[in-house]
C-alpha cells in the first residue's frame, strides 16, 4: 500500500498543474477554492459529547529538524513533540519521530521512511498511559504557486503497533500553504503566514474484534512564522482538532531547524 504514495502524489501534482493553469489563474476563484477546502474539512466531523473539556485549550511544543547527509540526495528528519491537554502538565502525548528521506536531484519531491514512538496520556488526573510504535512512509511535493505563496502536499501511510498486540494502519493527507509577507524567499527576517489542513483516514474498519469508523480525525491550523536565519525559524499558531469523540483547540509553538 505504501507504494501508492508516490503514485498518488504524481497524480495530484498533474491535477494541480491543470488547476493552476485554469482555476488558480483567477485570484478570486483561488480564494473561494481555499476557503471551501478548509471549510469542508472543518465541518467534516460531527463529534459526540465526551468527558474531555472541549473548552479547555491545550498546547503542543515542537522541535522539528532535518539534516543533510553529505552532498547527496539523502538526509535525516525528525521531530520531538510534547503535547498537553492544558497549557502544560496534563500530558496528551509525547512523540519522538525520526526517519531517512530521499530527494531526487532536480525534482520537487521527497520520499521518506521512518519510525515513531508515542506515549499517550489520559485526560485529567489519571496517569494511565498507552505506548505506540509506528512505522511510516511519506511523499512530499512542494511547489510555488506564486513568488510568495508555497504549497506543500504530504501523503503519509502509517503502520501502528500497540502494546496489547493491536495493529492498525492509517492514511494521512496534509495540504500546507505558506504565504511570505515581506520577502520573496525564506531568508533571515522573513515574516510569513502558515496554514494547513490534515485529514486522517483509518485503514481498517475492523481490527482485533473492534470496529472503527473510516474517519479518524482532522486538523486545521493557522500560524505566524519568523525566519531567524537560513537554518532556523519559529512559528506560533492555533490548531483545531476534530475526532469522532471530541473537538479541541490547541496552541502550538514550534522551532524548525536545519542541521548542516
What are 113-137's pLDDT values in tens digits?
A: 999 999 999 988 888 899 999 999 9
Residue 41 in grid coordinates = 474539512
Q: Which residues pair with 110 in a beta bridge?
A: 140
In this prediction, what percent of the chain has a pLDDT beyond 90?
67
CATH of domain 4-259: 2.40.160
In the prediction, which pLDDT does 190 show? 98
The per-residue pLDDT for range 143-157, each reduced to its tens digit, is 999 999 999 999 999
pTM of the full predicted structure? 0.81
Q: Would you list the domain boundaries of the chain?
A: 4-259
Say what the pLDDT of residue 213 is: 93
pLDDT number for residue 257: 98
> Which grid cell sits at 251?
496552541
Q: Count of alpha carbons within 13 Å of 178, Cβ hemisphere only?
A: 22
| Structure confidence by residue, pLDDT tens digits, 21-75 | 554 455 666 666 666 666 665 555 444 334 788 888 999 999 999 998 887 899 9
Closest by CA to 165, choosing from 207, 119, 116, is 207
Strand segments (E) across 85-128: 91-102, 110-121
Amino acid at each position: 500500500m505504501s507504494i501508492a504514495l508516490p503514485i498518488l502524489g504524481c497524480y495530484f501534482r498533474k491535477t494541480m498543474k491543470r488547476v493552476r493553469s485554469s482555476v488558480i489563474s483567477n485570484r478570486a476563484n483561488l480564494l473561494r477554492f481555499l476557503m471551501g477546502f478548509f471549510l469542508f474539512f472543518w465541518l467534516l466531523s460531527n463529534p459526540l459529547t465526551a468527558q474531555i473539556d472541549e473548552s479547555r485549550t491545550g498546547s503542543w511544543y515542537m522541535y522539528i529538524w532535518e539534516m543533510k547527509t553529505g552532498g547527496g540526495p539523502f538526509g535525516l528528519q525528525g521531530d520531538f513533540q510534547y503535547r498537553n491537554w492544558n497549557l502544560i502538565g496534563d500530558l496528551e502525548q509525547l512523540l519522538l519521530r525520526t526517519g531517512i528521506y530521499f530527494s531526487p536531484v532536480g525534482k520537487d519531491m521527497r520520499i521518506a521512511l521512518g519510525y515513531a514512538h508515542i506515549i499517550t496520556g489520559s485526560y485529567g488526573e489519571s496517569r494511565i498511559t498507552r505506548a505506540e510504535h509506528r512505522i511510516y512512509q511519506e511523499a512530499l511535493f512542494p511547489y510555488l504557486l506564486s513568488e510568495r505563496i508555497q504549497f506543500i502536499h504530504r501523503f503519509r501511510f502509517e503502520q501502528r503497533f500497540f502494546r496489547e498486540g493491536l495493529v492498525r494502519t492509517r492514511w494521512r493527507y496534509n495540504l500546507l500553504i505558506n504565504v511570505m509577507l515581506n520577502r520573496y524567499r525564506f531568508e533571515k527576517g522573513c515574516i510569513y503566514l502558515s496554514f494547513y489542513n490534515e485529514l486522517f483516514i483509518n485503514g481498517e474498519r475492523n481490527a482485533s474484534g473492534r470496529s472503527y469508523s473510516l474517519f479518524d480525525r482532522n486538523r486545521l491550523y493557522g500560524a505566524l512564522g519568523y525566519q531567524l536565519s537560513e537554518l532556523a525559524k519559529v512559528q506560533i499558531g492555533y490548531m483545531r482538532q476534530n475526532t469522532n469523540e471530541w473537538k479541541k483547540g490547541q496552541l502550538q509553538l514550534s522551532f524548525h531547524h536545519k542541521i548542516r
